[in-house]
Structures are given as structure tokens and as C-alpha cells.
Amino acid sequence: MQTHDVIQGTAAWHAQRATTYNASDAPAMLGCSPYETRTELIARLATGIVPEVDAATQARFDDGHRFEALARPLAEKIIGEDLYPISGSEDFGLDKPLGASLDGATITDEILWEHKSLNNELRAVLPESGVGDATVGAKLPKLYRVQMEQQLMVDSDATKVLFTASKWELRDDEWVCVEARH
């Protein structure tokens, strides 16, 4: 994997993403994204025109990044190692490399971590406590599974991904985890 020294959400990150086919686009490419159709993805990639992000969507993105950072220590405790957010790409001989922005990877790149905000669809498949096994992972919604599959392709040293979904609330100026599932 070629790593890229960019911080998720910055202009440099967006510029780097424009040079790759990204793991977060894989669900749209396979027609299983609730956020973008395959036709919309193809048009965006062909024209380079990215739809404007409205305030509500930007707030959701900002919360996602915040909750990911807050949940990273929970995942580190499960894995028993520190996790580092990283962006990378791998050239498979396509017109552009495949890319991935990893929410976390161990220093040896053996274990990756993916975080999402908890919702009822994820509650239905993730265990209330402990860590689910591969059979639970196979029940995750397809849009998450294909994103993680591409992450594993880009970071070929990785052998598995820990998936975490969490919910956070602001209480007395402090973010508190009210629920986390793995």
C-alpha cells in the first residue's frame, strides 16, 4: 500500500481522493449505496463535478469524524494495540489506483478498523455486548462489507477488520458513549 500524508476531510485529502477509486464509493459502484446511485457515481467520476454538501450533510460528516475519534480507544482496547487513521492506495493496473481512507490500522497493518454511527439496522445484527464473529460480519449491510473489502485490498497486509458502531451524546459539555457494538 502506498500511504498518503493527508488528514481526512482536508483539501489535500479531497485532492488525493480524486486520483483514486475510493472504498467509500464501492457501494455506489455495486449499486448498494443508499446515498448515491451508480449512475450518479459514474457522472461524478466522468465530469469531476462533486455535488455541493448541504449544512445537514456536513454536520453528519463532522459528527461521524468526531465519533470515530471518540470510539477509537474502544477499538484499541478490543484489539490490544494502537490504531492510526491512514489513507492509502494500491495500483491494480486500472486507469486509477484503488484508494481507502482507513479509520484505523495497527502499526503492522494486520488489523484494520472501520467505524460507523450506530443505527437500528446495525443494532439488528451486532451483538449487544462482546465482539461478534465472522458470521455476524457477514450479516452487516452490504454497503459496509464492500467498503471493508476494498480496504483489505488496498492494505494487503491486513487480515481482518474490526467493525464498530457507536452512539454518542453531549452531556455537560462532554461527549459520552451511550452505546457501542462491535
pLDDT of 86-112, one tens digit each?
999 999 999 999 999 999 999 999 999
Q: Give the pLDDT of residue 8.
A: 85
pTM score, two decimals? 0.94
pLDDT of 51-75, one tens digit each?
898 999 899 989 999 999 999 999 9
Q: How far apart are CA 40 and CA 29, in angstroms?
A: 10
Q: How far apart are CA 157 and CA 3, in angstroms?
A: 13
Dihedral-angle region of residue 145 (phi above 0 means left; psi in -120 to 50 means alpha; beta otherwise):
alpha
Summary mean pLDDT of the chain: 95
